[in-house]
Amino acid sequence: MKKVIVLGSNGQLGKTIKDFSETEAVQFVFFSRSEVDITNKNSLITAFDNSNFDYCINCAAYTNVEAAETNIEDAFLINAEGAKNIAEVCNSFQVKLIHISTDYVFDGDKDAPYTVSDDTNPINQYGKSKLKGELNIQEHLKMHYIIRVSWLYSLHGKNFVKTIIDKIKNDATLNITTEEKGTPTSCIDLVAFILHIIKGDNMPYGIYNFSANGSTTWYGFAKEIARNYSAEKIENINPSAHFKTIAKRPKYSVFDLTKTQQYYKVLNTWQESVGALVEKYKMENN
């Protein structure tokens, strides 16, 4: 049985892995940020020592895009230095690393889906810190899978799907931006892909793009959430040309999934995945 350490286990991805952990023939060991601090190499070494892990899944990250514009040091400490520490410790213990990165490593100026080999050019501090983390991993560890994901959502934590549902419940009128185009990605789908890597144990190392199939705007995403949760509330959601933010965001961040689909065929459309998750939400909360 494969043995896997999960770092940053209290985030939405870590909690989704926990949802799967009881049913999979994989032994997971979960550590939250308070239990293992990725910015402290000794903390990592203690966690890895004598544990014989086969894989490490790094879900730990500084993900507040707005706050990263002013808390630059913190963002880089966690997303860049933390990733470097993990890579070095994985290398010492001969553990394969699955690291979660982001579409925000791109500037969004392209008008066709981004491939894994396209030039990176992040336009905000969060993206810059995540790119530095990618580069640190590539420098210090051969046995790595860097998975770039976009517009992640789940049943856990704070995310766009849960925010929209909460607003719908309160009959709020929403103005949602049409300015950015990307692909909503369910943590459930992402965990299934991660498990495919671990259980297959034969995918080539490197960078992979991962999202659902298709693309939309945040406005289109919000409408699809409403359609699945309470269809009559779609009229509460209005398009807005611009949404003021501190951090610049890529206008276009759709992924080319060609490389991923060479090894993994099970990709839903983003609408299918949103529908499945909202249905699950309704079952658990209504």
Distance CA 174, CA 158 (A): 18
Q: Which of 55, 126, 219, 281 is catalytic?
A: 126
pLDDT on residue 11: 95
Verify whether residue 126 is a known catalytic residue.
yes
Domain boundaries, position 133: 2-157+184-212+255-264
In a domain, 140, yes or no: yes
3-state secondary structure of 29: strand
φ, ψ dihedrals at 123, nearest 5°? -115, 5
Q: What is the pTM of this model?
A: 0.96
Residue 282, pLDDT > 80, answer yes
Q: How confident is residue 245, by pLDDT bands cut at 50, 70 and 90?
A: confident
In a domain, 175, yes or no: no
Give the pairing of strands 55-58 and 26-31: unpaired
In a domain, 282, yes or no: no
For every residue of 237-270, DSSP letters joined together read EEEES----SS---SB-PBP-HHHHHH-----BH
In a domain, 283, yes or no: no
| Angle, in degrees to the nearest 10, between helices 218-230 and 270-285 | 40
In a domain, 242, yes or no: no
Inter-residue contact 88 to 141 (CB < 8 Å): yes
pLDDT on residue 241: 82
**In which residue are the tokens 């952990």 written?**
21
In a domain, 101, yes or no: yes
130-169 pLDDT, tens per residue? 999 999 999 999 999 999 999 999 999 999 999 999 999 9
What share of the chain in percent tops pLDDT 90? 94
In a domain, 54, yes or no: yes
CATH no. for residue 47?
A: 3.40.50.720
29-67 pLDDT, tens per residue? 999 999 999 999 999 999 999 899 999 999 999 999 999
Q: How confident is residue 23, by pLDDT bands cut at 50, 70 and 90?
A: confident
Inter-residue contact 87 to 136 (CB < 8 Å): yes
Indicate the number of domains in the chain.
Answer: 1
Inter-residue contact 29 to 5 (CB < 8 Å): yes
Q: Which helix or strand (DSSP H or E) is residue 48 part of?
A: helix 41-48
In a domain, 271, yes or no: no
